[in-house]
Homo-oligomer: A and B are copies of this chain.
């Protein structure tokens, strides 16, 4: 079986600047050559992830890093500009994301799973889900008009795979190189690899795509679960 993203417009909605790299960059890279249009929406600034050797304008630097990474996979970049660690599912946050959906008009949204480890990830999950319904409702006014059809929604794997039961796997064996290059754009974070409050991201990412690959009979894979809710479910 092969899954094609030919007519899709795929939008990854993540909490922090390097989350898309860890959890769905390979799938974005896979969708691109099928003919899909790609975008990444990063809700938080990444402003609280200071390396021990402090960076002066961290918010600016991280924006540049994510722009560089998005460019590598040919993705349009949207940002929510929320401060780290305080993301909540509020009417204001919903409106911001609804407007981003309306600008990009996704057919498929990739979002953090409710069981992920970080409070910002879980808030991003709720907001992405709420917006996936409201974006197509004319009663919910934002600058742009409502779109025709709510997008499909897939929950992404959790960081380190804890508690996530995959519904299906996307083969990213041919796209591991790009996934790594995208992660490499986030030098301000990779520099934290030895800080006590951080983790060696490259190894974590490699271990995860290899383990998911082992479960799915390929060199490397990313795992997802479809969200089957009214109008967001899709038959393939």
Contact = CB atoms under 8 A, between A and B. Distances in A.
Given A207-B214, A216-B234, A230-B159, A138 B4 contact: no
A133 B118 contact: yes
Nearest to A54: B138
Contact of A84 (B47, B129, B139): B139
B230 A117 contact: yes
Contacts of A85: 91, 94, 134, 137, 139-140
Decide if the interface of chain A is mainly helix, strand, loop or mixed.
loop
Copies in the complex: 6
Interface in A171-204: 171-173, 196-197, 199, 204
Interface string A123-138: 0001001100110111
Interface in A191-236: 196-197, 199, 204, 207-208, 210-218, 221, 225-226, 228-236
B236 A162 contact: no
B1 A234 contact: yes
Contact of A108 (B1, B133, B152): B1
Contacts of A168: 167-168, 226, 236
Contacts of A204: 214
A133 B162 contact: no
Interface residues of A, number: 81
A86 B89 CA distance: 10
A2 B88 CA distance: 34
Nearest to A84: B139
Nearest to A131: B119
Given A169-B235, A197-B146, A117 B133 contact: yes
A67 interface: no
Contacts of A5: 1
Given A48-B137, A235-B216, A236-B1, A230 B197 contact: no
